[in-house]
Amino acid sequence: TLHRHLSTSSSSGGIERMTVFGAGLMGAGIAQVGAQNGLKVILSDVTDQALQNGLQIITKSLGRVAKKKAPDDIEGFTREIMANIETTTDSAKAVEEADLVVEAIIESLKVKRDLFGFLDTKAKEKCIFATNTSSLSVTEIAESCGQSRQANFAGLHFFNPVPAMKLVEIIRTPHTSDSTYEALRAVTTRMGKAPVTCKDTPGFIVNRLLVPYMLEAIRMIERGDATPEDIDQAMELGAGYPMGPFKLLDFVGLDTTAYISSGWREKAAQGQISEELVRPIPILDEMVKQGRLGRKSGKGFYDVSSVFGGLD
């Protein structure tokens, strides 16, 4: 009965061992959905405390999953899936056997390039490298690696909360090979996700549309057109969105949205996205300066406990 809770699908493009760098919310979620679907996962971060925090995120989320999938054996379900996850702070060891590396560390081009440049010398030649970046160029990150690895390099963009959101965006750079792309389609499908494909462009598909939409919502309150509560209600009940733009801003983090938007201003200068969509918004910058970041700081557009009571 050992494997009774695990997926038995074996078609995952030859990928059985996945190493995830970064044990934050995204990295933990990616490790979890891999483990839940039978991959052998190594979760790596720079400190033991970060790893412990990541394991806690996973345990809590698995509790929610278990309530639906194995209500009579929540502990057993959780234990069985956790058995597929190892942790280490030793990044060289972490990739020794990996078929796939997924990076979900901080959104810094330099830090990501340093990590991948190092891993390129440690991982198997066939190992596929993927970044979960939401705001940087995948191609520029991949260029930290040698030619042959660049063919085995792509973006793999998951959505928050990873265990609940079905989508994954696969980002092909001009160097990504067909076999790498196919292997990523297969493994993400095995992870229970629905893959879509996009070129390496600012925001890929989802954020390219969502970020300007959220920014325009803030401009509406800046102009005094409507209240955040009414705008959220309008988009939830009139357009069927699960969360209106202000709840979503609080959920994603105002700092994250401001960071993406400021990064795109440079890309607007190069003609990759229209300048108008990302022009600065004083209210947003002021809220970020005051530390009103949304759910992560307890207060954003809403007093967060009133909106995200049961959400993790």
Considering only residues 64, 113, 267, 296, which one is a binding residue for ligand 3HC as defined by CB under 6 A? 64
61 binds ligand 3HC (CB under 6 A): yes
Start-to-end Cα distance in the chain: 30
- Number of Cα atoms under 13 Å in the Cβ half of residue 67: 5
Choices 169-177, 183-191, 240-248, 295-303; region in contact with ligand 3HC by CB under 6 A: 240-248
Query: Which 3 state secondary structure label does DSSP give 17?
Result: strand
Q: Which two tokens stand for residue 24?
A: 């934050």
Considering only residues 105, 171, 252, 284, which one is a binding residue for ligand 3HC as defined by CB under 6 A? 252
Catalytic residues: 134, 157, 169, 207
293 binds ligand 3HC (CB under 6 A): no
Q: Are 116 and 141 in contact (CB under 8 A)?
A: yes
Q: Distance (Å, rounded) from C-alpha 267 to C-alpha 253?
A: 22
242 binds ligand 3HC (CB under 6 A): yes
Considering only residues 165, 196, 198, 268, which one is a binding residue for ligand 3HC as defined by CB under 6 A? 165
Instruction: Report how far apart, in Å, the C-alpha atoms of 42 and of each of 81, 134, 230, 262 are.
Output: 13, 22, 44, 33
68 binds ligand 3HC (CB under 6 A): yes
Q: Distance (Å, rounded) from C-alpha 41 to C-alpha 84?
A: 6
Length of the chain: 312
Choices 75-83, 159-167, 184-192, 231-239; region in contact with ligand 3HC by CB under 6 A: 159-167
Nearest position to ligand 3HC, beta carbon:
134
137 binds ligand 3HC (CB under 6 A): no
Considering only residues 161, 189, 198, 299, which one is a binding residue for ligand 3HC as defined by CB under 6 A? 161
Q: What is the DSSP string of 121-158?
A: TTS-TT-EEEE--SSS-HHHHHTTS-HHHHHTEEEEEE
Give the residue from 202, 289, 309, 158 showing the smallest Cα distance to 247: 309
Quote the Cα angle for 91-2-63, to 5°: 70
84 binds ligand 3HC (CB under 6 A): no
Considering only residues 27, 38, 54, 163, which one is a binding residue for ligand 3HC as defined by CB under 6 A? 163
Question: How many residues bind to ligand 3HC according to rule CB under 6 A?
Answer: 19
Contact residues for ligand 3HC, defined by CB under 6 A: 61, 64-65, 68, 134, 159-161, 163-165, 207, 210, 242-243, 248, 252, 256, 312
